[in-house]
Chain A
Amino acid sequence: MSFRKRNIGLSAGVDRAAVPNVSAQPAPIESTPGIRPSPDDGRPTTSTGTPSLDGLLAGHAGLPMGKILLIEENGTTDFAGALLRYYAAEGVVQEQKIHVVGVPEQWGRSLPGLIGTAESLEEKRSDKRKDERMKIAWRYERLGEFGAGIAGARDAPTSTGIPDAAAKQQNAFCHAFDLTKRLAHPSITNMSFIPLVPSRDSPFTSILKQLQSSIASAGPSTIHRIVIPSLLNPTMYPPSACQPQHVLQFLHSLKALMNAHAARITAMITVPLSLFPRSSGLIRWIELLSDGVIELCPFPHSADALATSGAATTQEEPPQGMLKTHRLPVLHERGGGSDQNIGQDWAFNLSRRRFEIKPFSLPPAEGDKEAQDAPASSGMPKKADLEF
């Protein structure tokens, strides 16, 4: 069972018995919406709201429960913030309890709007491609229409008001969102925002207290998501927050809290790397305390040439940056290293509807013509010169 390919035939909600050989997780989890057992070892996972990020997480096809995912971002862009919004929006749609730390409630109003399940979007996309490409195989054209028809029937309408559509979305594991729209969902009011309270002591003490009490008071069936945007960002956090005895103790206590309710909580944290570089000991400790560490390295904005060069074909959107995985949940806790995705270079692309992570490959150098021509004219002797 360990060599099963990931992302195969996993329809949402209904999963075959994944044989949790050692998993001690209680059974009722499986009936909870938005949670499914990992195809790798059967532990419960939940979606990050970004299908390609789910696929990156070491074969679990989701973020395992009880784990902290740290997203680091270089530069002043806010791609990590988009990931965080997807994560929060997914939680809202799955009717999980969202705890957002340190930002005002406007943040919750900027969540991206729901446009269906992730699968439906994927199918639509692939159908579009199929339409374009399969003209050659005209014999199968009818078949293609047939498939499209199925997809169309399964496609959830974009409006969230229709109850049966909402019921269908309940069962989906991951949804698709549109960044230009605003999320309207009945459970969006259920988000709780934990403000930073100025205090003489650690600024995190009150945050932790609130998290602890609200998680303890919620029922055992409630699933929680803890969202910490831009940790240590000086526009939000007081200067004393980046003292190691404050921030590291907070993260350790958070880890303890998640360990105590391992089946009910996930957390995602973003950190601005341009303020706190990875070469510093403090950030390394924050990374060591996290279960998954992902670094985003956006390409410079102005590079139009770069933007066009990264795409393998003209149909694909050009990548907007590189993505590095430094640590993956569960995998690295066991020692790491055996993931099939390891050693890949990843690029990411944020469009209106998706945050996509795909293998990065340099295209056949189109802009490299001068470089190829230059040596021919100057350095290298011409073939005619050599012949005698």
Chain B
Amino acid sequence: MPSQPPLPPLLAPYLSSQPESSLTLISSILGATSNWLVLRLLYSALSTSTNQTFGLDEHDGSKKKVVLVSFLRGWEFWKVEAKRLGLDLARLADKKQFAFVDGLSELFSAPQSANAAPTTSSPTGIPPRTSLPLRGPPGPVPGRGPAIAPAISASTSSVARGPATSEPGIAKKLHFSGRGTAALDIMEKDIIAVIEQVKASGDSSEEVLLIIDQPDFLLAATGTSMGIGATEMSEWVTGLQLNVGATVLTLAADSPLIHNASVSGNQGATPVEGEHASFAIGLAHRARSVMQLRTLETGAARDVSGVLRISRGGGISSGADTLDEKELLYYIQRDGGVKVFGRGES
């Protein structure tokens, strides 16, 4: 049981408001990863319970729909960690409130055969469900009703759609095939298809929040020799942005990936470093806000996990939109609870 509120009060205003067509960047480094922040973001967008949000009255339970694209972490991780916060992603996925796009499992290596498909991931005792009912009327499915009953009827039809969609909770598995923008286009189409599915279900007025976890990996692992550079990746992000309400990206901002190229003026930087710096800094120019995670400069401490700096990005429209810049410390407890506090406080 997390002893801390799932949404730290100091962070709540930053996590709950992503204006239409805005871009939020979360940067992380090796020793200060961003998963906890993404989970809080999911919680803030998907959770219906207001009593837990600790004096945050304006959080009136206005839910958003979320599509999470993750390149470095699997469905199991997100599901288990979200459950620690009291968020049942599998159920939300059944309700089409949430969709997970798997960019890890089969991105570069398609499964060899049908029997090579993983067998351990489906827990025994629960009938295999699908998250994609083919023709089920999406609107009147009651939220509190047993989700298994309609799912079973749909499972028979969905098996025929191929093994890629047969795993519960995973809306789509991305594949990278070919090279250059053509390969990116295929993935873009896949993700947009999932976005459209989520949009079409339930209350269609709810805007969709798109979270892409580490698209910079895709850039690093393909690179210019496969015809993908920072510009192409940025355009890919733009294409996805056009289809959703707000977008959140997580990126690595480790010194070797940013400063080798940006400070020395790209002299002697390898293509991986140059393209990454170009991609990350270019996105920061477009972003409304940049949330930067890093470790303490003074070395590790027992009660501080890292520093979170929230800055306005280059793309914030000065004027109506205001965003307070802030630097906060955070501490992640063994049980997964997060404490966020200012410097000098505890």
Q: A residues within 8 Å of B by Cβ? A: 2-3, 22-24, 26, 40, 59, 208-209, 212-213, 216, 220, 243-245, 248-249, 252-253, 255-257, 259-264, 278-285, 287-289, 293, 326-327, 332-338, 340, 342-343
Q: Considering the chains assembled together, what is the distance between the CA atoms of A326 and B123 in angstroms? A: 34
Q: Are B81 and A334 in contact (CB under 8 A)?
A: yes
A22, A208, A287, A335: which has the most chain B beta carbons within 10 Å?
A335
Given A245-B222, A334-B35, 12 more pairs with CB closer than 8 A: A22-B84, A208-B109, A244-B272, A252-B107, A253-B109, A260-B118, A280-B260, A282-B270, A285-B221, A293-B30, A333-B33, A334-B36
Residues in A with CB closer than 8 Å to B330 are: 335
Q: Are A335 and B32 in contact (CB under 8 A)?
A: yes
In the complex, the 9 A-B pairs of residues with the closest C-beta atoms, listed nearest first = A337-B305, A281-B273, A335-B36, A343-B300, A2-B334, A335-B332, A216-B116, A248-B221, A260-B118
Q: Considering the chains assembled together, what is the distance between the CA atoms of A208 and B108 in angstroms? A: 11
Q: Are A336 and B118 in contact (CB under 8 A)?
A: no
Check if B205 is an interface residue, CB within 8 A of chain A.
no
Residues in A with CB closer than 8 Å to B306 are: 335-337
Contact of A326 among B30, B105, B222, B333 (CB under 8 A): B30
Q: Considering the chains assembled together, what is the distance between the CA atoms of A280 and B220 in angstroms? A: 13
Which residue from chain A places its CB closest to the CB of B112 in the assembled complex?
A212
Q: Are B334 and A3 in contact (CB under 8 A)?
A: yes
Check if B54 is an interface residue, CB within 8 A of chain A.
no
Which residue from chain A places its CB closest to the CB of B119 in the assembled complex?
A220
Residues in A with CB closer than 8 Å to B80 are: 22-24
Residues in B with CB closer than 8 Å to A2 are: 333-335
Shortest distance between the CB of B113 and any CB in chain A (Å): 8
Which residue from chain A places its CB closest to the CB of B225 in the assembled complex?
A245
Q: Are A261 and B120 in contact (CB under 8 A)?
A: yes
Q: Are A260 and B305 in contact (CB under 8 A)?
A: no
Shortest distance between the CB of A116 and any CB in chain B (Å): 33
Residues in B with CB closer than 8 Å to A334 are: 33, 35-36, 81, 332, 336
Number of interface residues of B (CB under 8 A): 69
Contact of B120 among A59, A255, A262 (CB under 8 A): A262
Q: Considering the chains assembled together, what is the distance between the CA atoms of A255 and B221 in angstroms? A: 13
Q: Considering the chains assembled together, what is the distance between the CA atoms of A216 and B113 in angstroms? A: 10
Shortest distance between the CB of A294 and any CB in chain B (Å): 12
Contact of A285 among B84, B113, B217 (CB under 8 A): B217
Between-chain CB contacts (< 8 Å), 11 pairs:
A24-B79, A40-B334, A256-B74, A256-B104, A259-B105, A281-B256, A282-B270, A287-B30, A327-B30, A333-B77, A335-B32
Q: Considering the chains assembled together, what is the distance between the CA atoms of A343 and B223 in angstroms? A: 36
Contact of B72 among A26, A255, A281 (CB under 8 A): A255
Which residue from chain B places its CB closest to the CB of A4 in the assembled complex?
B334
Q: Are B304 and A256 in contact (CB under 8 A)?
A: no
Q: Considering the chains assembled together, what is the distance between the CA atoms of A130 and B252 in angstroms? A: 50
Q: Considering the chains assembled together, what is the distance between the CA atoms of A259 and B72 in angstroms? A: 10
B221, B222, B271, B330: which has the most chain A beta carbons within 10 Å?
B221
